[in-house]
Amino acid sequence: MRLRLAMGLLAALVFTAVSPLVDAADTARIVLVAGRPSHGPGDHEFNAGCKLLAKCLAKIPGVEPVFVAGGWPKDEKVFEGARSIVFFMDGGGGHPMIQGKRLETLKGLMDKGVGLVCLHYAVEVPKGKPGDAFLDWIGGYYESGFSTNPHWTAHFTRLPEHPITRGVGPFSIKDEWYFNIRFRPDLKGVEPILSAKPSDETRKGVSASPRGPYKHILEASGREEILAWAVEREGGGRGFGFTGAHTHKNWGNDDFRKLVLNAILWTAKVDVPPSGAASSVTPDELEQNLDPKK
């Protein structure tokens, strides 16, 4: 009897040492909001992309990802208790984040220090009140007629020292990388995370929509452009803007994916591991949850 009790106590101690329970209050709730189907097969796969990120985040101790499909959630209570919110959806004038009183809803969350991540098209909003809000919350936004969106291969030869870049090595990848983003004046508080130099041919905007060339884009020939960035808001919240992810298969690139996962954790104020967020994605997983498109 005593031997059984001693063995049970030892087993309990071993379990506690190798499998610590995470207190619910310490769990980082991260809400990922996917937009409605957009573009052709393999592009703007918001549903599949968010589910893939959520699957990766679910394997990180202390993180609770919550997936929302179809754009703005029908029940805004899903945002309650969120440490960070990720939006991956179509933007512009029809951006789900700016309809009705949603900017006010988001402002209330931002004022509480909730993190905000906008991926690809979700960084585009009209100038004026929506643009000003994005300047405050994530430090910059895509401004139609000022920014541009060609498809090109960006070479990231060096990365800054930041929690978001932990474990991320230099990489090159083709995507619809937006640039000439409208940032805060003098980049106040903006930390460039990914920067690359578009070629003069890329600057002509042959693959951009609307088509180039734009005079001010051409005149910036040779300038390095910021394609992903981070901010820490005065109220304590954090924001991250990422212009890539038009092409779904790019989530299969370990460095591309790790950088975004790191950024999501950082905005949720979760410590990013020294080697970055560990994850793996198989070719089969990339084919899962794709929207039915013609």
Question: Residue 34 pLDDT > 50, yes or no?
Answer: yes
Band of the pLDDT at 16, cuts 50, 70, 90?
very low
**Inter-residue long-range contacts of 259-263, CB under 8 Å, 24+ positions, other chains counted:** 259/164, 259/165, 259/168, 259/193, 259/194, 259/228, 260/53, 260/117, 260/119, 261/53, 261/56, 261/57, 262/163, 262/164, 262/165, 262/166, 262/167, 262/168, 263/117, 263/164, 263/193, 263/228, 263/230
Question: Residue 178 pLDDT > 60, yes or no?
Answer: yes
Range in 1-15, 45-59, 176-190, 270-284 with the lowest mean pLDDT: 1-15
| pLDDT of amino acid 235 | 83
pLDDT 10s digits, 75-129: 999 999 999 999 999 999 999 999 999 999 999 999 999 999 999 999 999 999 9
* β partners of residue 218: none
Summary mean pLDDT of the chain: 92
pLDDT 10s digits, 37-70: 999 999 999 999 999 999 999 999 999 999 999 9
Exposed / middle / buried, residue 268 (Cβ in 10 Å: 0-12, 13-18, 19+):
buried
Question: Residue 14 pLDDT > 80, yes or no?
Answer: no
Separation of first and last alpha carbons in the chain: 69
pLDDT 10s digits, 209-252: 999 999 999 999 999 999 999 999 998 999 999 999 999 999 99
Q: What is the mean pLDDT of residues 193-222?
A: 96
Angle at 95 between CA 71 and CA 217, to 5 degrees: 135
Q: What is the mean pLDDT of residues 157-167?
A: 98
The domains of the chain are located at 24-286
Q: How far is CA 60 from CA 170, 270, 272, in A?
A: 24, 10, 10
Supply the pTM of this predicted model.
0.91
Pick the residue with more confidence: 165 or 13? 165
According to CATH, the topology of domain 24-286 is: Rossmann fold (3.40.50)
Question: Residue 2 pLDDT > 60, yes or no?
Answer: no
